[in-house]
Amino acid sequence: MSSQGDEAAEQGPETVGSALSSSSAETDATSGDFITVTIGATVPTGFEHTAAEEIKEKIGVDARISKDRGRIYFPITTDKLFQVHLLRSVDNLFVVVEEYDHYQFKESKEETLMELQQLAAKLPWTNALEVWKLNGTLKKKKGHRKGGNGAKVKPNSEAGDAAIADTEDQDLSQAVSAAEGQKKAEETPDTETCTQDAEETSPGAKLIKFRVTCNRAGDKHSFSSNDAARDFGGAVQEFFQWKADMTKFDIEVLLNIHNEEVVIGIALTEESLHRRNISHFGPTTLRSTLCYGMLRLCKPQASDIILDPMCGTGAIPLEGAIEFNSSFYIAGDNNDMAVNRTVNNVCHIQKRRADKGSVSGLPIDTVQWDLCNLPIRTSSIDIIITDMPFGKRMGSRKKNWDLYPSCLREMARVCRPGSGKAVLLTQDKKCFSKAISRMGGLWRKQHTVWVNVGGLHAGVYLLKRTGAVFGQTPEDVYESRGPANTQGDDKDDKELS
Ligand SMILES: C[S@@+](CC[C@H](N)C(=O)[O-])C[C@H]1O[C@@H](n2cnc3c(N)ncnc32)[C@H](O)[C@@H]1O
């Protein structure tokens, strides 16, 4: 079975609210035939509260933030499943089978693994498998066919679609009936008989392929994520009579262990939702979910002009133009390949929309420029939002010492004094803080969100453009007369006069 994230514990924020119950077996009285389940979602680390806000706004429920940073949980009735897939702040989704806030692991590795094996047959799988089944139907309606179970798919073939639907339904009923068999098992001590019942419910049905993925964090476990995935996976296989397959699986069972917290779930996404906007990736393409979090931080308003002066593949302005589309976005970069990628990404989305019959274009334009010398009028931009070179994969730490102050100064020039904002992402925190302190009060730091970008600890800084007039502080005058920026200086003088 596969395993991931066998890292030492990183203590996250406290759990908010009380623990949710697992997939509720009862049918909610107010929701007719819908069942109530708990959905788990991975979100960009640091933006858990942003995701919780979005869920409250769009689905109307309170989300609980897990101790495990980067995960949140919320209850839904199954009629809301489609809306869950439309959330912009979540990466991967799963339905919770069962969760334990304080799982008491045994002392020895052998005992612990034995207990995990026994757990597989005791878990309340039925509702989670029903949701997985429903999820498959939704994905088919959406025409979404990628990832693990993509192997069965024959695109562009209606006959193929029908065949898939049949096979999946058959597989699913086999899975669900195995779980139902288990329900009966709970009523009688003879589990063997019930497992046998489950096998007999759908003779000749195609074997379901599955894998177990264990994500483990914590330094007090006597076992590795590999051990847990292997032994728990073996027991799942025995219970359902599924076939283990690491790559072409129909079902991915998740075993998430964070210190004493254990959550067992079934994956509802095959590919992280963060890749949704980008067809032309670059070396440092930002996850769309992180872009969404950054955009929410600056609260775009109707008719705001929003600038990403170092847009790379355009991930931030594209997410903005799609989700906060009453603002206008300008995306620029000094690298022609980056500009081409942005143009291609924009065109790709436009085409996808046109294919679906939409006539409205995206409110975005793309330019090649040097950020330190923008062809933009002073005080004309409402929001600047960008992902700066960290100096690792992009640029260098040494260059950042010149680049950051020049960027911040030019951004201060074009940004509207008094009301303008900037949301800037960087991992080069020392250089950034030093550059801000040299801005002569043009920017004020309001808030920092600490995030994890590809394993790097980075800051998303929300800055407010103060009312100070550009070009009047000693720092502006001194710096802008420097040899590196003489052109910009001339332009500033012209525009200010
Ligand atoms: C971290 S990357 C941005 C990645 C982007 N957010 C994405 O999702 O693809 C930083 C970008 O800054 C650009 N850049 C560096 N110096 C620049 C400058 N002086 N003017 C404009 N762009 C610059 C680089 O070409 C690079 O594309």
Domain boundary assignment for the chain: 2-274, 287-496
pLDDT at 333: 98
Q: At 320, which helix (H) or strand (E)? A: helix 315-323
Q: Is 148 in the pocket of ligand 1 (CB under 6 A)?
A: no
Residue corresponding to tokens 């074009």: 414
Weakest mean pLDDT among 88-92, 356-360, 391-395, 426-430: 391-395
Q: How many angstroms does the Cα of residue 280 sit away from the middle of ligand 1?
A: 15
pLDDT digit string, tens, across residues 112-145: 999 999 999 999 999 999 999 999 888 766 554 3
Q: Is the Cβ atom of 387 under 6 angstroms away from ligand 1?
A: yes
Q: pTM of the entire structure?
A: 0.79
For residue 371, how far is the Cα from the chain centroid? 29
**Ligand 1 centroid to 303 CA: how many Å?**
25
CA of 53 to the centre of ligand 1 (A): 30
Determine the Cα–Cα distance for residues 466 and 209; give it in Å rounded to an integer.
59
Q: Phi/psi at 308 (nearest 5 deg)? A: -115, 100
Q: Rounded to whole angstroms, what are the CA distances from 452 to 57, 107, 290, 293? A: 25, 33, 10, 13
- The band of 67, judged by pLDDT with boundaries at 50, 70 and 90, is confident
Nearest CA to ligand 1 atom 17: 334
Q: Which of 271-280, 369-378, 436-445 has the lowest mean pLDDT?
A: 271-280
Read off φ and ψ for residue 313, nearest 5 degrees.
-85, 0
Question: Which helix (H) or strand (E) element contains residue 191?
Answer: helix 191-201
Write the CATH number of the domain with boundaries 2-274. 3.30.2130.30
> Picking from 86-100, 249-263, 466-480, which range would have the lowest pLDDT averaged per residue?
466-480
Average per-residue pLDDT in the chain? 81
3-state secondary structure of 15: coil
- Residues 18-35: what's their mean pLDDT? 48
Band of residue 69 on the pLDDT scale cut at 50, 70, 90: confident
Centre of ligand 1 to C-alpha 309, Å, is: 8
Compute φ and ψ for 338, nearest 5 degrees. Answer: -65, -45
Lowest model confidence (mean pLDDT) among 101-115, 144-158, 286-300, 453-467: 144-158
| Least trusted range by pLDDT, from 104-113, 208-217, 238-247, 467-476 | 467-476
pLDDT digits (tens, 9 = 90+) for 406-449: 999 999 999 999 999 999 999 999 999 999 999 989 999 999 99
Q: What is the DSSP letter of 207?
A: P
**357 burial type by CB count under 10 A (0-12 exposed, 13-18 middle, 19+ buried):** exposed
Task: Tell whether ligand 1 has an atom less than 6 A from the beta carbon of residue 389.
Answer: yes
What pLDDT score was predicted for residue 191? 27
Ligand 1 neighbour 459 (Cβ under 6 A): no
**pLDDT grade, residue 6 (50/70/90)?**
very low
| Ligand 1 near 367 CB (within 6 A) | no
- Tell me the average pLDDT across 28-35: 61
Compute the average pLDDT of residues 475-497: 39
Kindly give the distance from the C-alpha atom of residue 196 to the centroid of ligand 1, in angstroms, as a whole number: 60
Q: What share of the chain is helix, strand, coil (3-state, %, to 5)?
A: 40, 20, 35
Q: What is the CB neighbour count within 10 angstroms for residue 361?
A: 12
- Residue nearest ligand 1's atom 8 by CA: 285
**Pick from 99-113, 269-283, 325-339, 470-484: least confident:** 470-484
pLDDT top residue among 219 and 187: 219
pLDDT for 440: 87
CA–CA gap between residue 327 and residue 56 (Å, rounded): 23
**Terminus-to-terminus CA distance in the chain, angstroms?**
69
> What's the 333 CA to ligand 1 centre distance in angstroms?
6
Ligand 1 centroid to Cα of residue 382, in Å, is 20
Calculate mean pLDDT across residues 329-349: 97
Stretch (H or E) spanning 238: helix 225-240
In this structure, the residue with its CA closest to atom 25 of ligand 1 is 335
CATH code 3.40.50.150 for 287-496: yes
* CA nearest ligand 1 atom 5, residue: 312
